[in-house]
């Protein structure tokens, strides 16, 4: 069925532009000059997505949002306005808008937003009505080679239903990748169910996974479907699989082999078709060796393995990730997005981030709340991050910071970049050497590996006092 989008704007040219752009991607559109006209139709039939201006004669876009949300809370609405003031953006999000588009907007961007809203409404329908965070919150950022490798794997697996085992430290984005695998798989229109083994009490695990019959145990007052049944036709994401108790491992293995199972206390087998994606931060091979994880189950899960690098192994992604999290935090909190000053970005990229992307995300949220200015200085960072980065972190990454700088310079159209970089480089080394020798030039020259005269000449050239 073609998707239907309503466009509501008193400006004819906007209606026309959006209508044409959406029709080109096979989206059915209907246009309204006023919110009141749209509303009276809305009580009879509803589109998949509404895109509406705020300021219009008659009912305004925000009130319209309120009325439509009351009628159809699951339907995504996109709010646009020429007056891209903070207040209307905040009001739009608080009113439950899916996205806010300040005018003038790029038409492609508007179309992409509508498509995201449509995908979101599909997802909500499939999830049985629970509202999940907007799609763009799940964008995976990764230009580092190791992340490109992950993307390629997602692409290659997009036509298959094969079992995948994801490895990576806590907070590296395992769940995000699992969702991406699902969203790019033939099962994308079916449910994605995530379950964290480490978060479920042992004695509830079986009933959580396989459901139970009424009366199976004290408190089982009604029959309940387990996660396997809920995920039928779709994907079941088993996070922290290394924490699965031995007896559940045995049951899981049987389900994977037979494609059927019994609810707790049940006698009739339940058949399901579920794709398993498992994840762990542990070394499963080692758990197998120590007899803490069944070897046969390990082999069933370990068909395709995706490794997600720790954040400190993809430092080049840190500035973009930070920017992404600042934008998200700003939206959540209804404030302007913070921006890292270049030296703060470098400092960020040099940190070790033991909590990986999740720690970076939390830090960006903390800064958004705590820092007063828009531009973030090193002093604005949480105190525990302000200590000097470990020497290995510095040694390992100054060249990547340099590369980032060069990249930005060239992207900005600057030329002759060595002429700027080399003196900076020399000045930095000379400064540090002089600091180490308390300003004594002869020794500093030695530390640098220069003759004394060379240092004197350089000091003059670089105008260092
Ligand atoms: N490459 C990325 N781009 C954007 N956001 C990311 C990226 N990687 C992780 N995140 C975000 O960081 C947070 C942690 O990611 P996620 O929950 O997927 O990690 P995890 O490896 O499953 O963690 P755990 O093992 O602790 O459950 C999430 O909010 C996720 O959206």
CA–CA gap between residue 285 and residue 304 (Å, rounded): 15
CA–CA gap between residue 270 and residue 369 (Å, rounded): 49
Nearest-atom index, ligand 1, CA of 324: 4
Per-residue pLDDT, 262: 92
Q: Give the CATH number of domain 416-461.
A: 1.10.10.60
pLDDT band at 133 (very low <50, low <70, confident <90, very high): very low
pLDDT band at 82 (very low <50, low <70, confident <90, very high): confident
pLDDT band at 59 (very low <50, low <70, confident <90, very high): very high
CA neighbor of 435 nearest in space, from 464, 402, 395: 464
Sign of CA dihedral 218, 223, 224, 228: positive
Q: Give the CATH number of domain 312-408.
A: 1.10.8.60
Per-residue pLDDT, 131: 32
User: Ligand 1 mean position to 177 CA, how many Å?
Assistant: 8
Cα 146–chain centre separation: 16
Mutate to test the pocket of ligand 1, among 165, 171, 240, 318 (most ligand atoms within 8 A of CB): 171
Residue 105: is its pLDDT beyond 90? Answer: no
Residue 443: is its pLDDT beyond 90? Answer: no
Per-residue pLDDT, 372: 86
User: Ligand 1 mean position to 35 CA, how many Å?
Assistant: 39
- The radius of gyration computed from the CA coordinates of the chain, to the nearest angstrom, equals 28
CA–CA gap between residue 98 and residue 79 (Å, rounded): 8
Residue 154: is its pLDDT beyond 60? Answer: yes
Q: What is the pLDDT of residues 450-459, one digit of tens each?
A: 888 888 888 8
Residue 333, both tokens: 């909190």
Is the distance from CB of 68 to CB of 50 less than 8 angstroms?
Answer: yes
Which part of the chain has CATH 3.40.50.2300?
A: 4-131
Residue 85: is its pLDDT beyond 60? Answer: no
Question: What secondary structure letter does DSSP report for 33?
Answer: S
Whole-angstrom CA distances from 34 to 30, 396, 401 are 12, 59, 52
Which part of the chain has CATH 1.10.8.60?
A: 312-408
Is the distance from CB of 203 to CB of 144 less than 8 angstroms?
Answer: no
Mean pLDDT is lowest, of 184-198, 329-343, 396-410, 431-445, for: 396-410
Residue 289: is its pLDDT beyond 70? Answer: yes
pLDDT band at 319 (very low <50, low <70, confident <90, very high): very high
pLDDT band at 101 (very low <50, low <70, confident <90, very high): confident
Point out which residues pair with 275 in neighbouring strands: 235
- Mean pLDDT, range 70-90, rounded to an integer: 78
Q: What is the pLDDT of residues 215-231, one digit of tens each?
A: 888 777 888 888 999 99
Residue 348: is its pLDDT beyond 60? Answer: yes
Per-residue pLDDT, 129: 41
Mean pLDDT is lowest, of 52-56, 89-93, 235-239, 289-293, for: 89-93
Residue 175 CB–ligand 1 contact under 6 Å: yes
CA neighbor of 144 nearest in space, from 136, 135, 152: 152
- Mean pLDDT, range 375-394, rounded to an integer: 74
Mutate to test the pocket of ligand 1, among 145, 242, 243, 358 (most ligand atoms within 8 A of CB): 358
Question: What secondary structure letter does DSSP report for 380?
Answer: G
| Assigned CATH class of 145-307 | alpha beta
Q: Kindly tell me the number of DSSP H helices and DSSP E strands found in the chain.
A: 20, 14
Which part of the chain has CATH 3.40.50.300?
A: 145-307
CA–CA gap between residue 345 and residue 113 (Å, rounded): 29
Cα 95–chain centre separation: 23
- Mean pLDDT, range 192-215, rounded to an integer: 89
User: Ligand 1 mean position to 2 CA, how many Å?
Assistant: 33
Per-residue pLDDT, 138: 63
Residue 176 CB–ligand 1 contact under 6 Å: yes
pLDDT band at 201 (very low <50, low <70, confident <90, very high): confident
Sign of CA dihedral 285, 289, 291, 294: positive
Residue 270 CB–ligand 1 contact under 6 Å: no
Per-residue pLDDT, 134: 31
Per-residue pLDDT, 434: 87
Residue 350 CB–ligand 1 contact under 6 Å: no
Helix H segments across 135-201?
A: 145-156, 174-183
Whole-angstrom CA distances from 354 to 148, 177, 357, 459 are 22, 19, 9, 40
Residue 375, both tokens: 């531009």
pLDDT band at 249 (very low <50, low <70, confident <90, very high): very high
Per-residue pLDDT, 137: 35
Residue 123: is its pLDDT beyond 80? Answer: no
Nearest-atom index, ligand 1, CA of 240: 25
Q: Which residue has the higher pLDDT, 399 or 60?
A: 60
pLDDT band at 132 (very low <50, low <70, confident <90, very high): very low
| Assigned CATH class of 4-131 | alpha beta
Which part of the chain has CATH 1.10.10.60?
A: 416-461
Q: Tell me the pairing of strands 260-261 and 270-271.
A: antiparallel
pLDDT band at 125 (very low <50, low <70, confident <90, very high): low
pLDDT band at 400 (very low <50, low <70, confident <90, very high): low
Residue 379: is its pLDDT beyond 80? Answer: yes
Residue 281 CB–ligand 1 contact under 6 Å: yes
**SS3 annotation, 76-96:** CEEEEECCCCHHHHHHHHHCC
């Amino acid at each position: 069925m073609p998707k239907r989008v309503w466009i509501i704007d008193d400006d004819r040219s906007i209606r026309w532009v959006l209508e044409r752009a959406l029709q080109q991607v096979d989206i059915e559109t209907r246009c309204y000059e006023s919110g009141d006209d749209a509303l009276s139709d809305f009580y009879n039939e509803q589109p998949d997505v509404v895109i509406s201006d705020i300021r219009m004669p008659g009912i305004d876009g925000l009130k319209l949002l309120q009325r439509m949300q009351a009628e159809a809370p699951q339907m995504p609405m996109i709010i646009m306005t020429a007056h891209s003031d903070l207040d209307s953006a905040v009001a739009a999000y608080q009113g439950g808008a899916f996205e806010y588009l300040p005018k003038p907007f790029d038409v492609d961007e508007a179309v992409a937003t509508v498509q995201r809203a449509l995908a979101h409404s599909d997802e909500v329908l499939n999830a049985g009505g629970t509202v999940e965070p907007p799609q763009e919150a799940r964008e995976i950022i990764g230009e580092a080679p190791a992340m490109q490798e992950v993307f390629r794997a997602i692409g290659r697996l997009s036509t298959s239903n094969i079992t995948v085992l994801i490895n990576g430290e806590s907070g590296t984005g395992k769940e995000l990748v699992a969702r991406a695998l699902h969203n790019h798989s033939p099962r994308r229109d079916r449910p994605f169910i995530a379950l964290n083994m480490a978060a479920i009490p042992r004695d509830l695990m079986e009933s959580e996974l396989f459901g139970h019959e009424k009366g199976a145990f004290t408190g089982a007052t009604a029959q309940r479907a387990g996660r396997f049944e809920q995920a039928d036709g779709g994907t079941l994401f088993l996070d922290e699989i290394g924490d699965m108790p031995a007896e559940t491992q045995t049951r899981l293995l049987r389900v994977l082999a037979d494609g059927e199972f019994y609810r707790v206390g049940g006698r009739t087998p339940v058949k399901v078709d579920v794709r398993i994606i498992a994840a762990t931060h542990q070394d499963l091979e080692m758990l197998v060796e120590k007899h803490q994880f069944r070897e046969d189950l390990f082999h069933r899960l370990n068909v395709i393995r995706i490794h997600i690098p720790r954040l400190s192994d993809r430092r080049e992604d840190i500035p973009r990730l930070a920017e992404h999290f600042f934008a998200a935090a700003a939206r959540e909190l209804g404030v302007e997005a913070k921006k890292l000053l270049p030296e703060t970005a470098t400092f960020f990229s040099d940190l070790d981030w033991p909590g990986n992307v999740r720690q970076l995300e939390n830090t960006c949220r903390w800064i958004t709340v705590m820092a007063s200015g828009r531009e973030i200085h090193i002093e604005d960072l949480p105190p525990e991050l302000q200590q000097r980065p470990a020497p290995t972190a510095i040694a390992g990454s100054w060249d990547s910071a340099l590369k980032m700088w060069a990249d930005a310079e060239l992207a900005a159209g600057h030329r002759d970049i060595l002429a700027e970089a080399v003196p900076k480089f020399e000045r930095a080394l000379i400064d540090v050497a002089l600091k180490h020798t308390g300003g004594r030039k002869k020794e500093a020259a030695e530390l640098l590996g220069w003759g004394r005269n060379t240092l004197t000449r350089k000091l003059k050239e670089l105008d260092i006092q």
